[in-house]
Structure 1
Amino acid sequence: MENSSPLLQCGFIGLGSQGAPMARRMIDAGFPTTLWARREESYAPYRDSAARFAPNAESLGRSCDHIGLCVVNDNDVREIAGRLLPVMKTDAVLAIHSTIHPDTARAVAQQGVAYNVRVLDAPVSGGEPAAKAGKLTVMVGGDTDTLELARRVFESFAALIVRVGDVGAGQLVKLINNSLLVANMGLADAALAAGSNLGLEKDSLVQLLQASSGRSFALDVRARMDSPAGFRHGGALLRKDLSLLQTVLGPDDPAARCISDAAERFLQAATQDV
């Protein structure tokens, strides 16, 4: 398998809000790409493309040199990886783009060794807009040689690809990133509440903050919401990621407590009905 080959056979599983545009970028970059999804309607956006559709995960696994996996949680990763690894080609690459516990990524990589499959821990940041624009960030845990095999595929949807260590390290960086985001969302929510309590006009406050030293991506996101309840789905996912970081660090870790304290008020408001 040559990293420079334009005929690298790719697969993708996990056609959600972030995975779907990632798969589309791979297809549009010219990689022969096979998709598999549990729901037939997930294929609708690709009917006008060169994508192929597998009848099951195992069929996709047999045909591909590189597979991207962007499912929701640890159980999904374990299930799909357990179906793929036994049938994948020798030295094929399985790139885990989901946000999961680092130990889950390490366990899948260890299973990969038994089947002579290369596994990369490769969560992404940037969300749907960055995925559509090909501007995602990929935080890679895994060996350098495997990253080089996967790099051209990653470049179809990413602007920044950084190896941060062995398998599991990518997940650690992603958990810190997402936990910092939700902590900053909590601080931004409190700042807007402070402005309201002081009788300040919201739009003017946001405009000035975003042009000043208090600016942040989280403030921009929070300012577009009428209330934290508008972030219900994202809040549930970020609560999961914050919980994973707390598990990794331990409940008494001062850094975990600081991040959690900043995030909790916003998360409670965002996820109260979840």
Structure 2
Amino acid sequence: MSSPHPTLTCGFIGLGSQGAPIARRMIDAGFETVLWARRPETLEPYQETGARYAGTVEELAGRCEHIGICVVNDNDVRQVCDVILGAARAGTRIAIHSTVHPETVRDLASQAAACGISIIDAPVSGGSPAAEAGVLTLMLGGDARAIELSMPVFRTFGKLIVRLGEVGAGQKVKIINNSLLVANIGLAQAALEAGETLGIDRASLIELLLASSGRSFGLEVRSRMETPAGFRHGGALLRKDLGLLEEVLGEESAPARQLSHAATPFLNEAAQAPA
């Protein structure tokens, strides 16, 4: 069957828990999609799809017009983009789906512009289930025309897709979102501890709170854990994002202090849990 998008070749790097379903949505939508991964076994789930493969990041960059990146941290994003910028053609668009410091994407955008390449900061919210269902929220920062050209790709895995301003704006909103999430989880932890102190059955308290005005997504997340130990990995990632917000706002910022105050006790408990 011929592709419904015959003129656009996409690339994707970062096939983790969120990146993998994003790439799969692009492939299933009919985009010619080139994948690269450090570990060959990461590519095995795509053997029966229409995916193409690149032996190097340079090869992927040279073949693609739109490249999605969903690696873990700022250093990884910089390393991948440094290689791409040296090999991609003018007119290529790079969408950074990782959550990183706004200045990281701004610096990369400045470097990319000198090569005729566009950077779109495009962090996502919703996790693996939303990615698999194609209903992620995309928080975009970048040139309006570049975003318009990339919208057919974004729509394969996103539902609410909002341009918030220039490069960096998407990252600012994402770290606010993640800081609020972990603050809400921290408040949920405090509420459950209050219930325990008062002798209230935990399961009954959770059921009632989730049906009452005190409900929140943070409470839903906390209710699925037996203890904070169940959030050791996620807590580390959210601590990073809370730290990014403190860097952007300044540690003495009242909003940064309030969010940190709510989140830190829970994050400390999660970090102390056995690996």
TM class, shorter-chain normalised?
Answer: over 0.9
Asked if the contact 2:5/2:32 (under 8 Å) is kept, the reply is: no
Which residue is equivalent to 1:136?
136
Distance in 2 (alpha carbons) for counterparts of 1:265 and 1:149: 44
Which residue is equivalent to 1:160?
A: 160
Q: Map residues 1-274 of structure 1 onto 2, 5 A cutoff.
A: 5-272=5-272
In the TM superposition, residue 89 of structure 1 has moved relative to its aligned partner by: 1.9
Inter-partner Cα distance in structure 2 for 1:46 and 1:106: 33
Deviating 4+ runs (over 2 angstroms) = 4-7
Q: TM-score, normalised by structure 2?
A: 0.96
CA contact (8 A) 2:112 2:119 kept: yes
- Deviations, residues 189-219 of structure 1 (Å, cap 9, x unaligned): 1111111111112222111111111111110
Show CA shifts across 1:122-141 (max 9, x none).
10001111111111000000
The CA distance in 1 between the partners of 2:118 and 2:91, in whole Å, is 6
Q: Is the 8 A contact 2:246 2:256 kept in 1?
A: yes
CA distance in 2, matches of 1:30, 1:207: 43
Residue deviations 1:124-179, cap 9 Å, x none? 00111111111100000001111101101010001110001100010000000000
Look up the equivalent residue of 1:15 and give its one-letter code: L
RMSD of aligned alpha carbons: 1.1
Matched residues in 2 for 1:86 and 1:49: separation? 29
**Structure 1 position 8, deviation (Å):** 1.1
Distance in structure 2 (CA, Å) of the matches to 1:28 and 1:233: 30
- Residues 183, 260 of structure 2: 8 Å contact kept: yes
Structure 1: distance between partners of 2:115 and 2:125:
29
**2: CA distance, partners of 1:122 / 1:261:** 28
Count how many residue pairs are aligned between Structure 1 and Structure 2: 271
The one-letter code matched in structure 1 to 2:263 is A
Separation (CA, whole Å) in 1 of partners of 2:65 and 2:186: 42
The code of the aligned residue for 1:140 comes to: L
Post-superposition CA distance 1:214-269 (Å, at most 9, x none): 11111011001000110011000000000010011111111100000000010001
Query: Larger deviation: 194-203 or 236-245?
Result: 194-203
Cα distance in 2 between the residues matched to 1:205 and 1:101: 38
SS in 1 for 2:17: coil
SS state at 2:8 partner: coil
CA distance in 2, matches of 1:8, 1:186: 44
State the Cα deviation string for residues 92-142 of structure 1 (Å, max 9, x = none). 110000000000000110111011011101100011111111110000000
**Separation in 2, partners of 1:214, 1:7:** 50
- Choose 190-199 or 178-187, whichever is displaced more: 190-199
8 Å Cα contact 2:5-2:30 kept in structure 1:
no
CA distance in 2, matches of 1:159, 1:202: 35
| Cα deviation, residue 7, structure 1 | 3.4
Q: Which runs of 5+ in 2 are unaligned?
A: none
The Cα of 1:5 is off from its aligned counterpart by 4.3
Instruction: Tell me, in whole angstroms, the C-alpha distance in 1 between the residues paired with 2:243 and 2:77.
Output: 18
1:6, CA displacement in angstroms? 4.4
Distance 2:6 2:62 in 1: 19
Q: Give me the whole-angstrom Cα distance separating, in 1, the residues matched to 2:204 and 2:272.
A: 29
